[in-house]
Amino acid sequence: MNLQLASAPVSWGIFEFEGIQPRYPWAQVLDEIAATGYTGTELGPYGYLPTQPELLKSELDRRGLRLLSAFVPVDLVNASAHGAGVEAALKVGRLLAALDAPMLVLADNNGSVPELVRQAGRRRGRWLKDWTSVAAGVERIRRAVLDQTGLETVFHHHCAGCVETPEETEALLENSQVRLCLDTGHWHYAGGDAVECLKHWGSRVGYLHFKDCHPEIAHRCREQQLDYFQAVQAGVFCSLGEGGVDFPSLLAELDKQGYSGWAVVEQDVLVDDLEAPRRYSQQNREYLQSIGLSKG
């Protein structure tokens, strides 16, 4: 196994969701990612980091960071929106390609359907009956990004979207050629087990987000019927090693499969403590070192 570790602006509460304003300047976030021992980062919302390739490369280089990818949420349910999805992905993809990033992380426009926001973490099965439009949109975007930028597209299942549950992710994989960005925390909050996902879908996993999910907090969020954003604020995505994701077994399975690539360490936070993101970032890095991951 050749596993390299990165971080991402989302761990500082820099979300792609509308209405959540960044609370940290981008330079501080990059400084703290590097200072806590990571060698790669994601882009965050387009426009948060500099979008001029030369400037962004200079800022990353002087911190010893590599740009890996960007999370691009688009409307996949409505076929009429697929063209706009292609353009959004290409805009981000061209910047990624200019900095030699390896891939683009595509997702449904999570958080845009009130019903799915309310039911996040509690749904089971499949919300959609017909996966034709979603799969067609994913394939259209994947091919356009590959043809015009050379980047691989991986798909991120995500709570509060139409591809949340293991069953929904499987439906998408069965109806498309896209590979999976396995987010261990979202997989668990959606009712799955990340190790079992790797065992079944390992050949389709092209990228990893290491995130944990606290089982007691998740249970309380479900009992109280908290929506997705309330659950994040309640701490459902906890520090690595404090939740239900079995990271030692996950690493053993990745090693067994000979995984080679990146894992982005994430802890989605909505907190008032402005020192928390750096503290969590350091803590997560130290936890991974304690279970045998010493690479940056």
Please report, for the chain, the start and end positions of each structural domain, with discontinuous segments joined by +: 2-290
10 Å CB burial of residue 241 (0-12, 13-18, 19+) is middle
Q: List the structure tokens of 184.
A: 């261990």
What confidence score (pLDDT) does residue 3 get? 93
Q: Give the up-direction half-sphere exposure of residue 117: CA atoms within 13 A in the CB hemisphere.
A: 10
Instruction: Return the number of other C-beta atoms located less than 10 Å from residue 283's C-beta.
Output: 17
- Average pLDDT over the chain reads 95
Is there a contact between 144 and 90 (Cβ–Cβ < 8 Å)?
Answer: yes
Is there a contact between 182 and 197 (Cβ–Cβ < 8 Å)?
Answer: yes
Residues 6+ apart with CB under 8 A from 179: 152, 154, 155, 204, 205, 206, 207
| Cross-strand pairs, 210 | 265
What confidence score (pLDDT) does residue 295 get? 59
CATH 3.40.50.1860 assigned to 2-290: no
Q: What angle in degrees, to the nearest 10, is found between the helix axes of 247-257 and 194-201?
A: 10
Computed on alpha carbons and rounded to an integer, the radius of gyration of the chain in Å comes to 18
CA angle 25, 31, 35 (to 5 degrees): 145
Write the secondary structure of the chain as one string of H (helix), E (strand) and C (coil): CEEEEEECHHHHCCCCCCCCCCCCCHHHHHHHHHHCCCCEEECCCCCCCCCCHHHHHHHHHCCCCEEEECEEEECCCCHHHHHHHHHHHHHHHHHHHHCCCCEEEEEECCCCCHHHHHHCCCCCCCCCCCCHHHHHHHHHHHHHHHHHHCCEEEEECCCCCCCCCHHHHHHHHHCCCCEEEEEHHHHHHCCCCHHHHHHHHHHHEEEEEECCCCHHHHHHHHHCCCCHHHHHHCCCCCCCCCCCCCHHHHHHHHHHHCCEEEEEECCCCCCCCCCHHHHHHHHHHHHHHHCCCCCC
What confidence score (pLDDT) does residue 110 get? 93
10 Å CB burial of residue 191 (0-12, 13-18, 19+) is middle
Among candidate residues 213, 203, 266, the one with its CA nearest the CA of residue 242: 213
Please identify every stretch of the chain with a pLDDT value under 50, giving residue numbers as ranges.
none
What confidence score (pLDDT) does residue 18 get? 63
What confidence score (pLDDT) does residue 269 get? 81
**CA 218 from centroid of its chain's CA atoms:** 19
For 113-138, write each residue's pLDDT tens digit.
999 999 999 999 999 999 999 999 99
What confidence score (pLDDT) does residue 262 get? 94
Single-letter amino acid code for the residue at 209: H
What confidence score (pLDDT) does residue 104 get? 98
